[in-house]
Chain A
Amino acid sequence: MAEVTTTNDSAADSSPAQDERLAHRGPVQQLLTRPEIGALIGAVGVWLLFWLVSAPFGTAGGTANYLDVAATLGLMAVPVALLMIGGEFDLSSGSMTGATAVIVVLLSSDTAELGGAGLSLHLAVPLSLAFALAIGWFNGTLVDKTSLPSFIVTLGTFFILIGAKLGFTKLFTNKVIAEGLDRSGGYEFWDNIFGATWIRNGHVWDNRDWAWSGMLIIGAVVLILGTMELAYARREHPNRGGYLISAVGAAVGAIGYILLHNQDGKVSNWVFGIITGAGVLVAVAGWCLARYQPAERESSQEERNPRVVQYFVVGLVAIVGAILIAAVMDSNNEGRLDFLTGTPGRVFLAIGIGTTGVLAVLAALGRVSVGYPAIGAVIALIPGISYMITVQGARAILFGGLAIAGVVVLSIAARRRGLAAVFTLLTAAAVAGLAFFIQSEADSRKLRVELFTALLLIALLLAASAITRLIAARRTTAPPPPMHGPLARQIGTALGLAAGLVSLILELADGDGILYSIIMAVAKGGIVAFAVFALATLFRTLFTSDESVGRSLVFVGLGSVMLGIAAKLMFITNEELAATQASTRFGVGVMLFLAFAVLGAWVLARTQFGNWVFAVGGNKDASRSVGVPAARTKTTLFMLVSASAWITGMVIAFRLNSVQANVGDGNEFRYIIVAVVGGCLLTGGYGSAIGAAIGAVIWGMITSGIGFATWNSDWRFLVLGALLLVAVLVNNYVRSQAEKVR
């Protein structure tokens, strides 16, 4: 039946609500077509993997560690992504980072002792920037004037830079390391800028946990409200009674949550957990009754999938299996899960080879598909893999994998038509059960507190979405709602700027470091602006029926979640301070990296220059003929890359105080890889700055995570390659699925 209809119809057939989707892409679909979505999913996956297998990875120290690796990569990957979107490559970008660092050291270091120009850093640092910009300009102009591929032109610059770095370093110092930056004039001043670090141990905030978990929860709730606003049809006149029910539910939920977090006992957990859950669900139900149009009865013509029960059973079995594994496997064994040397290894090998043989014969006979013998090969590989991980790691992976698989299968069952809402509720119940099991059985505090909270939240989300679906009707048509509140935005921006400025002046007058002052100023200004905007948005939600409020709510929710995470990472409590000697530091590189990512995303999506970048990468001749200055745009991009290389070089130079001539060489391909993982096309015209930043974080997480997990580094590139491949494949798959829906 579907076969005879046109392709458009059959694509729509597979989705539950065909007409709605053609007319209106919901918030989730819109999100899924973004280029960086694959990288985001990959990042979450990689983070979960290492968080499960290694204890310190998820701590602030671990985060600082991988963010630091990501920073020097991402500072370059973001502008390189912009350049790639503009349709060009810069192979000299990697060696340029080292070149600017070498130049600063050579220009500034003292002649008598080491050889060098002995300039003050006040002169040397701007000179190196001028040098970097000149190289960028040269690259851009040459590419434009000769119309040669930028691959070739910048390859030339790449070799020239490598040669010049080495030649001049040896000429001046007779060695390949340029040393002695810290003995140069003006070092204090510039080190305060490029060498600044945020030392977490110096920033104690005892109420941090309340603040951050509060922000996280409020953020999550507002986020849910926002998506509901976007997805469901609004009542013309809100129902006040619903608001009342909702408020009562929210209060009960909040009390339950506070009590839940105040103790750690089996019975109280169950009791308060249930109170929390019930409160939230009542709140959601009340909200829906108040604001959204009631759903029509589900029509009888919808087909029911007969396999839905099977899915459900499989999902439940997986979750029970996860619980069993966690209970059975020795939770105290810290050794390696070594199947390789003992009998189990031979057993696995024998089973694997046997299976491969049988399946190969079957495949040859045409009874099974050709891919099946690979199953045997995977079994045969198990001993090898087991050698790499600890018992605890294996326990965590198996438990986590089965639990995730179970939840996924359950949610697939819940997506089927007919009893969708009921199955979603049952899934939520299963996840909640999983959460309580972990809470009462797990040995580690990490699993008990963090995983429990996460699972409980997921369960609540599932239940809330099921209830909403039961109560409210989906939107059928909707214009893409603009994010609104120009007045609130303007007042917020003005107040925020004022607060930031005052804070900056006060902090600087106090003699705090430049980094600290700037972060505090930006943070305070941002929080003030954000608070004004958030309050205005919440006000609108309650008292107007403005179409635009949904997106504003999503924005407020995301902002609140991110503020919460930042608060947890950047501040320490006295309790933690007493327990650790490690000093967690966030270098200025990390801050710059995050700023770059945000700035890059803004420039790309919202400015004229960003539009031109997409245009010259997508179709240079076309953009030129409508008046886009293509040559200037490209040259600016090249200069942007080299200016970022200068910043990266300064960060490296002021961290090490001495620079080896080959620093940064070969990194240009990492930047490109990271940008591609983040969703950039090699052919140009498509991509994302945020994606490149996420790609850099993935890279950082993998390189550091292997260390944290104490995996053998011989396998490092194998793991790196496999994970990167997975990220790219997921990216492709998700995007093609999302586009199909259209």
Chain B
Amino acid sequence: MRKLWKLFALLLAFTLVAAACGNDDDDTGEPASSEPTEAAAPATEAPEPTEVVEVDPTQGCDKTYHVITHGDSGTFWSVVEVAVRDAAAAIGCDVVYFGSNNDALRQAQEIEAAIAAGSDGIAISLADPAGVQSAAEAVVAAGIPLYTLNSGVNDYKDLGATTHIGQTETVAGNGAGERFNALGATHVLCARQEQTNVALEERCNGLAETFSGQVTSEFVGLDATPDEQQNTIAAILQGDESIDGVLGVGPNLPLRALAAGEQAGRDLIIGGFDLSSDLIDEIEAGNVAFTVDQQQYLQGYLPVILMHLQATNLNTAGGGLPILTGPGFVDTANAAEVKALVSQGTR
């Protein structure tokens, strides 16, 4: 029994230490929140990412907009969320953000709830068009402006959405292919971090369309097992001596490819997709050639602004065509500037 008490005491002490550390964070967090730009200020006021963005009601906006995506809590969607928040602050209206984490049913339910709540504009992502079709049609039937973002470039018209804000993966892959052509690669490994993700496959297919050399597209292991990714890429490099370029279709894979190249004793031309601080450091250092940036901040920011303009000013953007947010490229030329923005969470 005495032993048990000792353990309890230890645990208690540990909790206290943890609590003390937590206090430290709050203390040091405060000056940090006053420093950055006004865009980030509302974000740091809330202790955790909230879904409803409260804004000073004196600005007199009586509209409420909803952004309902299939997004998860990964690097990518957290930027979209920040963008939605920033746009809400800019127009001074309430915007509700919801990410269903790839659950189409949840997403559809949330859309229906938004209709019932009398939303003034709804933006949705169409990762699973069939799953949210009826809900999306109900939005249009209720006379609420509908926008699609991120995925859904093929289906937004059929659903009656005003326009689509996003990037097509194939076009992004095409862009990467042209970059590799310019850099003089002859055989590119298109490394994927998920085995059955249509978007990642499309990026690789897009690469193959424009790249003049040979493309090998392989799944190299999940982001959850970074060591396996590195070793698998190294194995493929050693198995095929002709590979001289690697395109990682995520932000982590280019870094793994860099380590794998060193392991296999090969000098590689490395490209990536999306951004992270480490990746930009390597681009700045010249170890990674470029990364394709889909500029997802726009995919969160623009729909809110466009919905607001349609609701208050009856503007409709796009002219029946999608609005492409990418591909933008980050390479040695602009890495330093983008770096600062990434650490703010807006790129």
A/B contact in complex, CB under 8 angstroms: yes
Q: Is the CB of A62 within 8 A of B238?
A: yes
**CB proximity of B284 to chain A, nearest CB, Å:** 14
Find B263's partner among A65, A175, A714 (CB 8 Å cutoff). A65
Q: Which one, B11, B29, B264, contacts A134 given CB within 8 A? A: B11
CB of A704 within 8 A of CB of B78, answer: no
A66 to B252, CA, bound (A): 20
A117 at the interface (CB under 8 A from B): yes
List chain A residues, Cβ under 8 A from B14.
Answer: 130-131, 134
Interface size class of B (residues with CB under 8 A): 35 or more
Chain A, range 25-73, C-beta contacts under 8 Å to B: 54, 56, 61-62, 64-66, 68-69, 71-72
> Which residues of A have CB within 8 Å of B48?
167, 170-171
Q: A166 contacts B73, CB within 8 Å?
A: yes
Complex interface: chain A residues within 8 A of B73 (CB): 166, 170, 176, 661
Bound complex: CA A707 to CA B276 (Å): 27
Interface locus among A320-328, A580-588, A602-610? A580-588
| B25, B48, B49, B75, most chain A CB atoms within 10 A | B25
Q: Is B239's CB under 8 angstroms from A703's CB? A: no
A56 touches B232 (CB 8 A): no
Per the bound structure, the CA–CA distance linking A705 and B239 in Å amounts to 9
- The verdict on A61 contacting B32 (CB below 8 Å), with A660-B252, A707-B232, A713-B220 known, is no
0/1 string, A713-734, CB within 8 A of B gives 1: 1101100000000000000000
Is B74's CB within 8 Å of the partner chain A? Answer: yes
Identify the stretch in A7-15, A263-271, A565-573, A662-670 within 8 Å (CB) of chain B at 4 or more residues. A662-670
Q: CB-nearest residue of chain B relative to A699?
A: B228
What's the Cα separation between A585 and B343 when bound, in Å? 32
Query: Cβ of A117 and Cβ of B227 under 8 Å apart?
Result: no
Interface flag for A207 (CB, 8 Å) = no
In the bound assembly, the distance between CA atoms of A66 and B226 in angstroms comes to 14
Q: Does B323 contact A (CB under 8 A)?
A: no
**Is A61 within 8 A of B264, CB to CB?**
yes
A174 contacts partner chain B, Cβ-Cβ < 8 Å: yes
A556 sits at the interface (CB 8 A): no
Residues from chain A with Cβ under 8 Å of B47 in the complex: 171
Chain B residues within 8 Å of A707, by CB: 218, 220, 231-236, 238-239
CA distance A713 to B345 in the complex (A): 34
CA distance A107 to B226 in the complex (A): 21
Residues of the A chain whose Cβ atoms lie less than 8 Å from the Cβ of B262: 583
Residue A179, interface by CB 8 Å = yes
Interface residues of A in 94-126 (CB under 8 A from B): 98, 107, 111-119
Task: Give the number of A-B contacts (CB < 8 Å).
Answer: 172
User: Closest Cβ of chain A: how far from B105's Cβ, in Å?
Assistant: 20
Inter-chain contact A65/B219, CB cutoff 8 Å: no
Please indicate the chain A residues that have their CB under 8 angstroms from the CB of B263 in the complex. 61, 64-65, 582-585
Q: Name the residue of chain B whose CB is nearest to the CB of A660.
A: B223
**Identity of the chain A residue whose Cβ is nearest the Cβ of B75 in the assembled complex:** A176
Chain B CB within 8 A of A652 CB = yes
Q: Which chain B residues border A663 with CB–CB below 8 Å? A: 223-226
Assess the B232–A703 pair: CB atoms within 8 A.
Answer: yes
* Contacts of A683-738 to chain B: CB distance below 8 A: 700, 703-710, 712-714, 716-717
CA distance A130 to B7 in the complex (A): 12
Assess whether A177 is interfacial by the CB under 8 Å rule. Answer: yes
Tell me whether B219 and A666 are in contact (CB under 8 A): no
Cβ < 8 Å to A, chain B residues 1-54: 7, 11, 14, 17, 21, 24-25, 28-29, 32, 43, 47-49
B221: nearest residue on chain A (CB-CB)?
A703
Contact of B21 among A107, A177, A714 (CB under 8 A): A107
A240 to B219, CA, bound (A): 65
**A597 to chain B: closest CB distance in Å?**
18
Q: Is B56 an interface residue (CB 8 A)?
A: no
Q: Is the CB of A709 within 8 A of B239?
A: yes
Q: Mark B210-253, 1 if CB is under 8 A from A, else 0.
A: 00000010111111111110111111101110000000000010
Task: Out of A130, A179, A589, A712, name the residue touching B277 (CB < 8 Å).
Answer: A179
With a cutoff of 8 Å between Cβ atoms, the chain B residues found around residue A170 in the complex are 48-49, 73, 78
Report the bound CA distance from A652 to B224 in whole Å.
11
A655 to B235, CA, bound (A): 19
Interface: A259 (CB within 8 A):
no
> Is B43 a contact of A582 with CB atoms below 8 Å?
no
Residue on A with the closest CB to B17?
A127
With the chains together, A61 CA to B266 CA distance in Å? Answer: 13
Q: How far is the CB of B208 from chain A (nearest CB, A)?
A: 15
In the assembled complex, B265 has its CB within 8 A of some CB on chain A = yes
Residues of A within 8 A of B24 (CB): 117-118
> Contact at B277–A111, with CB atoms within 8 Å?
no
B224 touches A664 (CB 8 A): yes
Contact A580 B239, CB 8 Å, known A174-B345, A658-B278, A664-B224: no
- The chain A residue sitting closest to B13, CB to CB, is A130
B72 to chain A, nearest CB (A): 9
Give Cα distance in the complex from A717 to B222, angstroms. 13
A118 to B195, CA, bound (A): 37
Q: Report how far A130 CA is from B11 CA in the complex, Å.
A: 9
Q: Would you list which residues of chain A between 128 and 155 have a CB under 8 Å from chain B?
A: 130-131, 134, 137
Q: Which residue of A is nearest B216, CB measured?
A: A710
CA separation between A170 and B44, bound complex, in Å?
A: 12
* Interface residue? A251 (CB, 8 A): no
User: Does chain A have a CB within 8 A of B82?
Assistant: yes
Contact check, A98 vs B238: say whether CB atoms are below 8 A apart.
Answer: no
Contact B7 A65 (CB under 8 A): no
In the complex, A411 has a CB within 8 A of chain B: no
A107 cross-chain contacts in B, Cβ below 8 A: 21
A657 in the interface, Cβ–Cβ < 8 Å? Answer: yes
Tell me the minimal C-beta distance from A154 to chain B in angstroms: 18
**B278 pairs with A179, CB closer than 8 A:** yes
Residues of B176-224 at the interface with A, using a CB-CB cut-off of 8 Å, are 195, 216, 218-224
* A347 interfacial by beta-carbon distance below 8 Å: no
* Chain A residue with Cβ nearest B345: A174
Chain A residue nearest in CB terms to B255: A656
A664 — nearest CB in chain B belongs to which residue?
B224
Contact residues in B for A657 (Cβ distance below 8 Å): 278
Name the B residues within 8 Å of A712 (CB-CB): 218
Task: Determine whether A172 belongs to the interface, using a CB cutoff of 8 Å to chain B.
Answer: yes
Nearest-neighbor residue (CB-CB) of B11 within chain A = A134
**A163: nearest chain-B partner, CB-CB:** B73
Q: Which residues of the other chain, A, contact B238 by a CB distance below 8 angstroms?
A: 56, 61-62, 65, 582, 707-708
Bound-complex Cα distance A593 to B231 (A): 17
- In whole Å, how far is A322's beta carbon from the nearest beta carbon of chain B? 25
B231 touches A69 (CB 8 A): yes
Residues of the B chain whose Cβ atoms lie less than 8 Å from the Cβ of A700: 231
Residues of chain A lying within 8 A (CB to CB) of residue B222: 666
**Docked pose: A480 CA to B243 CA in angstroms:** 57
B78 to chain A, nearest CB (A): 6
Query: Measured between C-beta atoms, what is the minimum distance from A184 to chain B in Å?
Result: 15
- Inter-chain CA distance A713–B230, complex, in Å, is 15
Which residues does chain B contribute within 8 Å of A656, judged by CB atoms? 226, 255
Q: A652-B226, A658-B277, A663-B226 are in contact. List 12 more A-B contacts (CB 8 A).
A: A62-B235, A69-B228, A118-B24, A175-B78, A175-B276, A581-B265, A581-B266, A660-B226, A661-B73, A662-B74, A703-B221, A713-B195
List the 5 closest A-B pairs by CB distance, nearest first: A707-B235, A582-B265, A581-B265, A174-B345, A56-B238
- 28 residue pairs A–B, Cβ–Cβ below 8 Å: A56-B239, A98-B224, A107-B21, A111-B25, A116-B25, A134-B11, A170-B49, A171-B47, A174-B78, A175-B277, A177-B277, A581-B265, A655-B227, A656-B255, A660-B75, A663-B223, A663-B226, A700-B231, A703-B221, A703-B228, A704-B232, A704-B235, A706-B232, A706-B235, A707-B235, A707-B236, A709-B239, A713-B195
Chain A interface (Cβ within 8 Å of chain B)?
54, 56, 61-62, 64-66, 68-69, 71-72, 98, 107, 111-119, 127, 130-131, 134, 137, 166-167, 170-172, 174-177, 179-180, 580-585, 589, 652, 655-658, 660-667, 700, 703-710, 712-714, 716-717
Q: Identify the B interface with A (CB < 8 A).
A: 7, 11, 14, 17, 21, 24-25, 28-29, 32, 43, 47-49, 73-75, 78, 82, 195, 216, 218-228, 230-236, 238-240, 252, 255, 262-266, 276-278, 343-345
